[in-house]
Structure 1
Amino acid sequence: MTGAPTVVEPATSTAVREPGRLRSALGWLALAVAVIVFALLIAALSFSAPDSRGGLDPESAKGSGTLALAEILRDQGVEITVSRTRADAIAAVDGDTTLVMSDPYTLSDEAVRALIEPSNRTVFLSSSSRLLRLLDLGKNTSPPASGALPAGCDVPELVDVGSVQPDRFFSPADGVTGCFDEDGAAGLLISDRDGTRTALLEGAWLLGNEHLAENGNAALGLALLGQTERVVWYVPSFADTDIEAQSSDTLATLTPEWVTPAILLLLLAGIVAGIARGQRFGPLVTETLPVTVRASETMHGRARLTAKAGDSSHAAAALREGSLRRLAARLGLTARSTPEEVADAASDRLRIPRGSLYQLLAGPLPQNDSELVDSARRLAELETAVDTAVHVERNTP
């Protein structure tokens, strides 16, 4: 007895499920790696973000900053107060402080005077032509040929500074002491007037963190800024400026307020009118032009254009060309015959001198209306004479 066929169910293979699990695991692993790389990139950008502080800033560690000089002053017991507004700097200055700043380019002349007025000792760490003029310290001048220079002036605190190599030189004004000078060019200006001392130099290279350890640069910074127990270091910025920008007058500011709305209204009306008018235009229509134009119409049209332009020479050339073509046909010549050949044939046929015919058929063209009329009359007479001579010859037995 034959039994019923046995149905065997396929066994589920773990080899089928393994590739799917592997792909899923690899996907999550790739996502985790991407997140880690992104986090490391953000951290690297954050740690390597550039210092936003400018040059000669006592809190900047960049090469152009002066953080190293500020730390040296603090090591010598000097208290440094960093002020980033004029009001804070003026409030912090007293009789036993040194006011230090770079060129306050963001302040007006009046603001600079008000800032340095309470101070008995002011040091400018960078220079400008405006500061030299405003403080009456001197003028810019060309540098000498030598490199590092000694102080060479009667200022006690600069005796032990040593040699430095200034970046910019000045010509001192009357009553102003020039130090580190040669041939009248000084790298440091010191003015003692009315019981106040003002010193100015270009210290971006001398006193910056990058070059402070060279020559006597550090000693120079201590000599200028370390003579009092307190230093008020003002840092100029555009956020503390008192100079208001003035915009130039424009067409909008010079015209009444109603002009702009009126212009816009006119533009809108023009657009609406164009759309309304354009909707009335239909499709292009092909019109049948005349295919036959009578020669007389063309001749009269060209004649009117020539007369309107006053071109006597062009009209005479057209008359002469027509006469030559007709004379050549009547005299049995080809259409390519030259005016000289036509003149010779007409002279032989009429038995008249060739010179006058040459002048008429090949000579200069008329330049005015009277000469044009005379030339047209002579051409007509020549054609008539040739017609008569040819007709007589044909009728003569």
Structure 2
Amino acid sequence: MTSVESPPAEAPQSDRRRRLTSWIVLGAVLVVVGIAGAALSGIGQWAQRDALDPDSAGPTGARALTEILRERGIDVVIARDRATADAALGGGDATLALTDAPYLSDGALSAVTDAATDVVVLDPRARTLRILLPGASPHGVASDAAVEPACDVAAAERAGAITAGAIFEPGPETDTCYPTAGAYGLLIAEVDGRRTVAVDGRALFTNEHLAEQGNAALAVNLLGRHPTLVWYMPAVADSDLAGADPTLGELTPPWVSPVIVLLLVAGIAAAVWRGRRFGPLVTERLPVMVRAAETTEGRARLYAHARDALHAADQLRIGALARLGRLLGLGPSASAPEIADAAAARAGLDRGAVHGILIDELPRTDADLVALDERLRALEAAVHAAVRPERNTR
């Protein structure tokens, strides 16, 4: 019967400390998961806002350009909804700087641009070009080589060479500048006194590219023609598109997300509460010592009870091979055939007979096993006599 020592007196306090630590760790994990989820959910929105955002000081923002325009006396109005853009454009001559507008229908896009004196499309896409510059279309991206204006447009001539970025194929009655690869980096069309310009603002007017070559001069010449610049960045709330399929968030009732979070927290809390805890190690004193011989005898009885003569023969051979290997001076990596060959050669015995004793013969009955044991003992004695004859003559 084993005796178990009682746990130390400080065990309850240790358990309390462990539980408190577990709750602290659980709270920290929940906070980290919440922060990570919020960050991941906002990555797309932040990236979308940062591109050509006039308030952004990041590499892809356009804050440097808006500050330059304001220093030159231009009233820059940043419109993040259509109502603000319409109000600013209705106050007199104004230039509209327009980024990509996927949320506006064709009619809404035409209506907001019709209110402007000039329109500069900073992120031209196929639909925008089709509506504002009929016949024009994207053509690809120019190489990194600088391109001269090669046109008589004053804004481009004063700016000089640029690296065009995206290039476009012009429509009819469209002035073109910066020719490269069969297309142009700047399209300008004047209809009924309103000038519409298409240029890749992402490659030219962002904070990281504005100081290169003639980019800043071209931006000021295009966007600073009138005392007011309305920089409009259409938002989802401005969308007038109808018939679109509802999103999963729109189909989901508002109570589903809080319930999911609550169930997640409850599941984690239940796992911590009911999870298996390993306590401190307990010292245990064994009442008796078991000799190795008893273990060997016990295994032998199990083999005898199971009548597993082959398994018992393997154990006898393993022991005999190990002793013969040491006796013959062979290393621990010597194989059974190598030991058998060395034993036969040293004792002057038939090689096939020795292989049969150590490897090949398969005992089927207890009598065969006893006979094999006797032959193994005789083989070991013969090898021992051949290796150390002086001990056998004493």
Larger Rg: 1
Query: Which gives a bigger RCO, structure 1 or 2 (Cα 8 Å, sep 6+)?
Result: 2
TM-score scaled by length of structure 2: 0.50
